[in-house]
């Protein structure tokens, strides 16, 4: 049975469950600890912490920041971030603005392609949280322009597709720096998305470790067992903590189940403990 899940989205970004609902679901599934890691925001953390206290479930405050590395875009997880830190809020606010500027441009491109869709419809699909491409995909599906969310991304929204709009991102070293300044633990999310050869990945991660990267998300639904082994070895070699999570988004992206990563692997509590040990070591050395 799964015990932890350290990668979860809520309505504060592009998930479909509120932070409190996520905590309740995790409790129902008998998880012992979860981390809330919304895209570029910590707005859902407070509610999750409060609900966690109410139902006696350990909630780790977190964030998932989109950034650029020399190999392409990367996602950086930050665990135990102090959400009220000025610099974190400031940086995330900047990303929020960039996102707000991006979405109307996606609408323009879709309209130009003959898709009859308004920004208001996309906002309505977001349920009041952050608006992102999954919500565009949902509207495209609802209106019958595509037959699946995957098709919406392929035909319109994915990088390289005709309605794709590049977004402003931080350099990954800045993102690491922000997480560290907010007293958090920076962890490289789902390394398979970097599409690197093993040697290239090792060089990149070693460089990032020098900048303060503390961990690698080795357990992830889309990682093959070979990749999981590869990332675990890399983490061990560089002395980095190994984390894992389902990247749960609620019902929008149904592939993920709380606490379960590829092939039904359940995440043990040990993973959260290692993260906490890293946090304590950081406190001692600061």
Residues 6/62, Cβ–Cβ less than 8 Å: yes
Q: Which stretch binds Zn ion (CB under 5 A): 42-50, 90-98, 108-116, 245-253?
A: 245-253
In the region spanning residues 53 to 72, those forming contacts with Zn ion, defined by CB under 5 A, are 64
Q: How far apart (Å, rounded) are the C-alpha atoms in residues 152 and 35? A: 29
The yes or no reply on residue 51 touching Zn ion (CB under 5 A) is no
Closest CA to 39 of 105, 102, 111, 120: 102
Least distance in angstroms from the C-beta of 19 to Zn ion: 15
Least separation in angstroms between residue 186's CB and Zn ion is: 14
Among 10, 75, 170, 219, binds Zn ion (CB under 5 A): 75
The angle subtended at Cα 210 by Cα 207 and Cα 216, nearest 5°, is 70
Q: How far apart are CA 161 and CA 140, in angstroms?
A: 14
**CB atoms inside a 10 Å sphere around CB 166:** 9
Which range binds Zn ion by CB under 5 A, 14-22, 172-180, 189-197, 256-264?
189-197
**Is the CB of 23 or the CB of 36 nearer to Zn ion?**
36
Residue 247 binds to Zn ion (criterion: CB under 5 A): yes
Q: How far is the CB of 44 from Zn ion (least distance, A)?
A: 13
Q: Alpha carbon 75 to chain centroid distance?
A: 7
Q: What is the DSSP letter of 79?
A: E
> To the nearest whole angstrom, how small is the minimum distance from the Cβ of residue 238 to Zn ion?
21
Site size toward Zn ion (CB under 5 A) is 4
The token pair at 138 is 């949902």
The answer to whether 14 contacts Zn ion (rule: CB under 5 A) is no
List residues binding Zn ion (CB under 5 A).
Answer: 64, 75, 189, 247
């Amino acid at each position: 049975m799964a015990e932890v899940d350290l990668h979860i989205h809520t309505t504060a970004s592009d998930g479909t469950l509120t932070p409190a609902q996520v905590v309740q679901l995790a409790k129902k599934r008998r998880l012992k600890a979860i981390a809330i890691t919304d895209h570029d925001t910590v707005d859902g953390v407070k509610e999750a912490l409060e609900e966690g206290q109410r139902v006696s479930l350990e909630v780790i405050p977190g964030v998932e920041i989109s950034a650029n590395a020399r190999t392409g875009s990367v996602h950086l997880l930050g665990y135990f971030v102090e959400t009220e830190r000025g610099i974190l809020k400031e940086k995330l606010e900047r990303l929020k603005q960039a996102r707000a500027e991006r979405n109307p441009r996606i609408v323009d491109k879709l309209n130009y392609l003959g898709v009859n869709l308004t920004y208001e419809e996309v906002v309505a699909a977001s349920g009041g949280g952050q608006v992102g491409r999954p919500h565009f995909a949902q509207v495209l599906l609802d209106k019958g322009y595509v037959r699946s969310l995957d098709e919406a991304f392929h035909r319109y929204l994915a990088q390289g597709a005709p309605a794709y709009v590049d977004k402003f991102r931080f350099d990954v070293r800045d993102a690491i720096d922000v997480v560290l300044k907010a007293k958090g633990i920076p962890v490289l999310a789902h390394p398979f998305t970097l599409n690197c050869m093993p040697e290239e990945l090792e060089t990149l991660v070693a460089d990032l470790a020098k900048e303060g990267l503390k961990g690698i998300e080795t357990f992830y639904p889309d990682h093959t067992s070979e990749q999981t082994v590869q990332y675990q070895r890399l983490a061990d070699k560089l002395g980095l903590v190994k984390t894992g999570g389902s990247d749960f988004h609620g019902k929008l992206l149904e592939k993920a189940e709380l606490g379960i990563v590829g092939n039904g692997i359940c995440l043990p509590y040990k993973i959260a403990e290692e993260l906490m040990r890293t946090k304590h070591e950081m406190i001692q050395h600061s």
